[in-house]
Structures are given as C-alpha cells and as structure tokens.
C-alpha cells in the first residue's frame, strides 16, 4: 500500500466537555477539551464518484467522538487521545489518525496544554 496516496480529512477545534484529570477538582465537573483530528485515507473514489458511500463519514465519526468523550472519565489526556484514535481507526478507510487533545485550563499562565498522537491501522489490533 506504499504507492496508495493518503489524502487528509481534518476535523478542527471540536469543543467537548468531559471529566479528565488527576486532581480532585478536575474529577468533580466537566471541563472543556479541544480536539483536532486528521484522518489519512485514499479519497480518490469519492473524488471521482461524488458519493458519501465512497468516503469516510466524518459526520458519523465526529458524533461518536463527542458521545465517547462526553461520557468518559479519563485521568490522562493521553488516554483520551488514544480513545479518539480508536474511534477514527474503526473506519476501515482510515489508514492513519493524528489526534491532538488540548485542555485549555490545565496550566496556569498557559493558553493550553495538549497531547498529540499518531496511530496507524497496523497499531489498531
């Protein structure tokens, strides 16, 4: 598959509220997290056909991400990012997912802190 081009779909600045963190205050009420996702896939069929059936249904993926994150209670942003990448790689068209999760209130005097991970289909067993 090395010769297969990998096009990209971006989901930018998805704002979701969830429980995430290790401090007692962070476990008490949901906080904002900002999620950015880049999906790598071969989109040539969709480009030619102009049919939703030939592409990654990013609306459906976004909805699954929101539902999963809102219901989550992770201690680490890293674990939250991994859960999002698992959702992305559940679509067989997605070859690689790059996920960045930012927690704007995590560090005083910093606009945000975040974790970025990349996972490929081969990582997703």
Give the start-to-end residue ranges of the domains of the chain: 7-123
Q: What is the CATH number of domain 7-123?
A: 3.30.1130.10
Active site residue 103: yes
The full length of the chain comes to 125
Q: Is the pLDDT assigned to residue 2 strictly greater than 60?
A: no
Task: Tell me the pLDDT of the chain averaged across its residues.
Answer: 93
Strands 73-74 and 7-20: parallel
Contacts of 68 (CB under 8 A, 6+ apart): 83, 84, 87
SS3 at position 111: coil
pTM value > 0.85: yes
* Model confidence at 125: pLDDT above 70: no
Question: What CA–CA distance (Å, rounded) separates 76 from 80?
Answer: 7
Q: For 88-97, what is the mean pLDDT?
A: 96
Q: What is the pLDDT of residues 43-65, one digit of tens each?
A: 999 999 999 999 999 999 999 99
Per-residue pLDDT at 115 = 97
Higher pLDDT, residue 110 or 80:
80
- Which of 29, 62, 96, 103 is the catalytic position? 103
């Amino acid at each position: 598959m090395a010769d297969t081009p990998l096009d990209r779909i971006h989901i930018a600045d998805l704002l979701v509220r969830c429980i995430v963190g290790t401090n007692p205050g962070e476990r008490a009420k949901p906080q904002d997290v900002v999620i950015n996702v880049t999906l790598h896939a071969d989109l040539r069929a969709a480009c030619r056909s102009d049919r939703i059936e030939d592409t990654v249904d990013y609306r459906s993926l976004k909805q699954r991400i929101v539902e999963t994150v809102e219901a989550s209670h992770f201690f680490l942003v890293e674990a939250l990012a991994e859960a999002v990448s698992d959702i992305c790689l559940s679509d067989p068209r997605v070859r690689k997912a790059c996920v960045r999760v930012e927690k704007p209130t995590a560090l005083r005097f910093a606009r945000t802190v975040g974790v970025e991970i990349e996972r490929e289909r081969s990582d997703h067993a």
